Amino acid sequence: MVSAAEGELVALKFYHKGFNAFVVAYTTCMPGPEPVRLQPLKDLSKAVVYLRRHREGYGIDEHRVTICGFSAGAHLCGSLAVHGDGPQIQLGGEYAVISNRPDAVVLSYPVITSGEYAHRDSFAALLGEDASKEDLEYMSLELHVTKNTPPVFLWQTATDEAVPVENSYLFAQSCKKAGVPFEHHVFRRGMHGLSLANEDWANGNFGGLYCMKQLTEYIAYCIAHDTGGAVFRNGCAAKGNGRGSGICTGRQAILPLPAGAECADLAGARGELADGYVE
């Protein structure tokens, strides 16, 4: 999980609506410069298979498993939707006969394409700065939608400043072409990273902390190698370095920051958008 604002906060909302909900803490960064490549996809694939394997203990219907992701996490969920049958992510042993295909997918302000409207930092983290054309095309999800892709719900804002809204349009168009059931909502105004866009989100009430091992390892690497990454502790401001790095340990969020951005700017933006943040 990349952002605490898009984990427990969202899961609890689903839970209170009558769903059994789980937060998947997947690989978001490797100590050192290595890209994560297929590791997040393997993590999510195994999580879906694990839940189906233990469905009785968790009280879930194995035929009604929905995955939900935000931004780069939405790219991960979309990747499982279109690449779930890839041989690289199949499990053996007791899990070999259990499907990793989700029954539905929710993609929130998703990173989709590696083409003209790409969020370049996401693909650099995933595949590296020198990714091959073949790898970029493989992870450009709109190119791989088929009739077997599960039903999809997409939403985004037209003014998304980080991930161009064309990303969700491209995936929706591919779903229509392939005959995949989908629903697509575009709100006319709103920043990237809205999560639930409610008072808890605006006030930073995100719930539990996740992936602290990954976080501390990444911080240790940045310190040891003097990367210039911006590290935030309990809301203290530090400027971004323009390379998309930035960590908020107070709420365990790893946030992409443009050059000159400050932690206080993010908090202020959330406060201003507490009312009327989406139209």
Instruction: Find out if CATH 3.40.50.1820 is the number for domain 4-207.
Output: yes
Residue 111, both tokens = 């990173």
The amino acid at 168: S
Taking Cα atoms as reference points, which of 143, 142, 140, 106 lies closest to residue 123? 140
Tell me the domain boundaries of the chain. Answer: 4-207
**pTM as predicted:** 0.79
Distance CA 273, CA 270 (A): 5
Q: How many CB atoms lie within 10 A of CB 106?
A: 21
pLDDT of residue 148: 97
Distance CA 29, CA 243 (A): 15
Between 12 and 250, name the one with better pLDDT: 12
* Residues 149-192 pLDDT 10s: 999 999 999 999 999 999 999 999 999 999 999 999 999 999 99
In the structure, what pLDDT confidence band is assigned to residue 237 with cuts at 50, 70 and 90? Answer: very low
* Residues 77-110 pLDDT 10s: 999 999 999 999 999 999 999 999 999 999 999 9
* Residues 45-54 pLDDT 10s: 999 999 999 9
**DSSP state, 105?**
E
Q: What percentage of the chain has pLDDT greater than the value 70?
A: 77
